[in-house]
Amino acid sequence: VTPVFIGNGFKCALNSLAAILALRVPKNTIEFFAWLRNPYPSGFQESLPVYYVDKSFLDEGSALREKLIEILLAELKWPEMEVEIVKREEEPEMLLLNILQNGLPVAAVFVRNSGTEDKLALYLRGRADLTGRLETLAEKIYPFLLSSFKNKTSPMAQAESTVLRCLKDEAKQTGDLKLNNIANISPERLLHEMSSRQKLIRKNGELWNITELGLSCLKNPERSV
């Protein structure tokens, strides 16, 4: 007899089938299958990336990390809520804040560096009824990250800043951005990450336009790339 190790996946599947059979109503109804597809209420979740960053800015003790904590705590003064900062030994540069109500977690906000790319991301998770508060928080924190955590020596960050300044006063076509004259960058990747990922610019037809978020980065020249 040869033993076969199938892990927990198969057992979890059997447990799920057993639970479904136990909960199943006598007749297969549309309502039952609709509930089965989504048995738990959906919450809020959003991930907002920041590219071409200096990852050391999230190190413990850095001035920017302390400033970020200060802003987060000021914005998270929600009625009847408490905030705890969680330190993870396996990932010390990760900044994690849990929002508690009556001692129980109802939302989480965290900022962490990517392990494979020169980027970080702001993550927001919470109950559905906290959607408005979390969206307002993102509107405060995300622009700060975009304008403060860029790596000023990165060719891509420098090119990003050039594009924003180029589009500040008027929309332009791709060729007018003169990205092909900048060494050590990928124009296609840059424009994709600026538009689809960071929402700093958008394309209407053949023209690139700067967004309000992109303009907000230019309004903070002391922190911008």
Annotate 34-65 with DSSP letters as a single string: HHHH--S---EEEEEEEESB-GGGGSTT-HHH
pTM: 0.82
Q: Residue 145 — φ and ψ, nearest 5°? A: -65, -40
pLDDT in tens, 89-119: 899 999 999 999 999 999 999 999 999 999 9
Question: Quick one: how far is CA 55 from the chain centroid?
Answer: 15
pLDDT in tens, 26-54: 767 788 778 778 777 789 999 999 999 99
Residues 108 and 53 in one domain: yes
Last residue of a domain, one of 88, 123, 148: 148
Q: Residue 76 — φ and ψ, nearest 5°? A: -100, 25
pLDDT of residue 41: 74
Ranges of residues in the chain with a pLDDT under 70 are: 1-7, 27, 221-225
Give the chain's domain count.
3
Q: How big, in percent rounded to 5, are the helix, strand and coil portions of the chain? A: 45, 20, 35
pLDDT of residue 225: 38
Domain annotation covers residue 1:
no
Residues 19 and 52 in one domain: no
Q: What is the dihedral of CA 177, 142, 46, 199, to 10 degrees?
A: -10
Last residue of a domain, one of 148, 175, 209: 148
Residues 210 and 175 in one domain: yes
Last residue of a domain, one of 148, 172, 187: 148
pLDDT of residue 224: 41
pLDDT of residue 199: 98
Q: Is 135 left (phi over 0), alpha (psi -120 to 50) or beta?
A: alpha
Residues 126 and 202 in one domain: no
> For the domain that residue 163 is a member of, what is the CATH number?
1.10.10.10
- Rounded CA separation 107/100 (Å): 7
Q: Residue 80 — φ and ψ, nearest 5°? A: 60, 25
pLDDT of residue 23: 77
What is the length of the chain? Answer: 225
Domain annotation covers residue 223:
no
How many CB atoms lie under 10 A from the CB of residue 180? 10
- Domain limits at 139? 44-148
- Rounded CA separation 97/85 (Å): 5
Report which of 105, 110, 125 is spatially closest to residue 45, judged by C-alpha positions.
125
Residues 122 and 171 in one domain: no
